[in-house]
Chain A
Amino acid sequence: MVQKKMAIDITADLDRRPIAKLVQEASKFESTVYFEYKDKKVNAKSIMGMMTFISIMNRATAANDLIDVIVNGSDEEEAMKSIEAFFA
């Protein structure tokens, strides 16, 4: 399992497309990908999960709050790199 703290910047616009892209990116990998913020933990391979996550982030976070990205599985290193690249 690899875990990293990240700043994410998709809260600014609620356009579904970047979220859909992120979900697609996460779905490419065998590993499970979870995003966690406070008591909310959602599956990054799920559109519904990410939509919920974004709406929570919009309501609750300060701009520079970090979220936890938790990746677990056979290709976890690659998956983490790809998620990092997405937010870079």
Chain B
Amino acid sequence: MLNGDISNVPLQNLIEKMNLENLTPDVDINKIELTMPDINRPALQLAGFMKDFDRNRIQIIGNVEHSYLKAQEDGVERMKNFLKTGIPCVVFCRNIEVEDEIIAAATEAQVALLRTSKTTSSFMAEVIRWMNVQLAPAMTIHGVLVDVYGEGVLITGESGIGKSEAALELIKRGHRLVSDDVVEIRKVSDDTLIGMSPEMTRHFIELRGIGIIDVKTLFGIESVKNTQQIDLVINLEEWDRDREYDRMGLEEHYVNYLGNNIVCHNIPIRPGRNLAIICESAAVNCRQKKMGYNAAKALYDRAMANINKSQE
């Protein structure tokens, strides 16, 4: 499977998401794209120190930079020069008043000036978090993603092995579908993968012999979800007599997506095995392990304690 393709974020998306006011309506914002999740507060640059300046970052001006510029005789001039450095946009926080002269200069340099009522630090934190998600490495996986008891369970396996059927039964048991067949995953941090559905097939399931069904309209809004962290992978495979399957669960097996390891269970399929109940049990068991209790280890400890006792 392919991994790690990163695409840019159109500035328009940031404006809509953060509800920013565009002070330069004459700048063609459709042409501006953001390429990195980092931001810069340009205090040093406005003071004239340009070494190591990263022009691709979102520039954020808060109270401090603003009052510094006001205190300088050539403040407006400095800002004008700064706008010519090839930056994508400047965001003013706390609804700072921006001089007409600066807006005109920005329009000429085709740099978007934006404004928010938020305080600088909280706006920065929000932008970095959101941009990291938008610019995260992504890939698509053939599988079904379901939220089971709050755990994101990704069911994988060959075509026709029964992934969608398992998902449907899980939905009927009160769990939520995220995506059937095609799951887009994004690595938002070194230990978090987020899964979602391509818009095209969102909330639809394909069942062999019936066709496409729309889960959202059939079973209601409580049966679907748009995004979900992936906590666990269940790989369905045909029962193979010669293969050993995990009987204790003392050791965790992992599968690697985009450099992150996710716990993976290989579940052999045989007629009469109830997949939904197996998925449910795997999900709660995974959750219990996260909360600090491991049933396999508890059984093992109990057995060892008994052996030690009988030896005394």
Which residues of A pack against B, CB within 8 Å? 27, 32, 36, 38-43, 45-49, 51-52, 55-56
Of the candidates A27, A36, A51, A56, the one having the most CB atoms from chain B within 10 angstroms of its own CB is: A51
Do the beta carbons of A43 and B139 come within 8 Å of each other? no
Instruction: Note all chain A residues with C-beta closer than 8 A to B198.
Output: 52, 55-56
Shortest Cβ distance from residue B9 to the other chain A in the assembled complex, whole angstroms: 15
In this complex, how many residues of chain B approach chain A with their Cβ under 8 Å: the count is 20
> Which residues of B from 1 to 52 have beta carbons under 8 Å from A?
1-2, 5
User: A48-B206, A55-B199 provided; 4 other pairs, C-beta below 8 A?
Assistant: A39-B140, A42-B182, A48-B212, A55-B198
Do the beta carbons of A48 and B139 come within 8 Å of each other? no
> What 1/0 mask marks residues of chain B from 113 to 145 whose CB sits below 8 Å from any chain A CB?
000000000000000000000000011101000
Q: How far is the CA of A32 from the CA of B142 in the complex (A)?
A: 11
Do the beta carbons of B140 and A46 come within 8 Å of each other? no
> What 1/0 mask marks residues of chain B from 201 to 221 whose CB sits below 8 Å from any chain A CB?
100101000001000000000
Q: Is chain A's interface secondary structure helix, strand, loop, or mixed overall?
A: mixed
* Subset of 5 A-B contacts with CB under 8 Å: A36-B2, A40-B2, A42-B142, A47-B206, A52-B198
Instruction: Note all chain B residues with C-beta closer than 8 A to A49.
Output: 142, 181-182
Q: How far is the CA of A40 from the CA of B182 in the complex (A)?
A: 10
Instruction: Note all chain B residues with C-beta closer than 8 A to A38.
Output: 5
- Is B159 engaged at the interface, CB distance under 8 Å to the other chain? yes
Which residues of B pack against A, CB within 8 Å? 1-2, 5, 138-140, 142, 158-160, 180-182, 198-201, 204, 206, 212
Instruction: Note all chain B residues with C-beta closer than 8 A to A42.
Output: 140, 142, 182
Do the beta carbons of B200 and A43 come within 8 Å of each other? no
Given the known inter-chain contacts A49-B182, A52-B182, A55-B200, please indicate yes or no for A43 contacting B206, CB distance below 8 A. Answer: no
Do the beta carbons of A48 and B2 come within 8 Å of each other? no
Contact of B181 (CB < 8 Å), options: A32, A36, A43: A43
Q: How far is the CA of A48 from the CA of B204 in the complex (A)?
A: 8
Of the candidates A36, A41, A48, A51, the one having the most CB atoms from chain B within 10 angstroms of its own CB is: A48
Instruction: Note all chain A residues with C-beta closer than 8 A to B138.
Output: 39
Which 10 pairs between the two chains have the least Cβ-Cβ distance? Answer: A39-B5, A48-B181, A45-B159, A43-B142, A52-B198, A55-B200, A48-B201, A46-B181, A52-B200, A52-B182
Shortest Cβ distance from residue A54 to the other chain B in the assembled complex, whole angstroms: 8
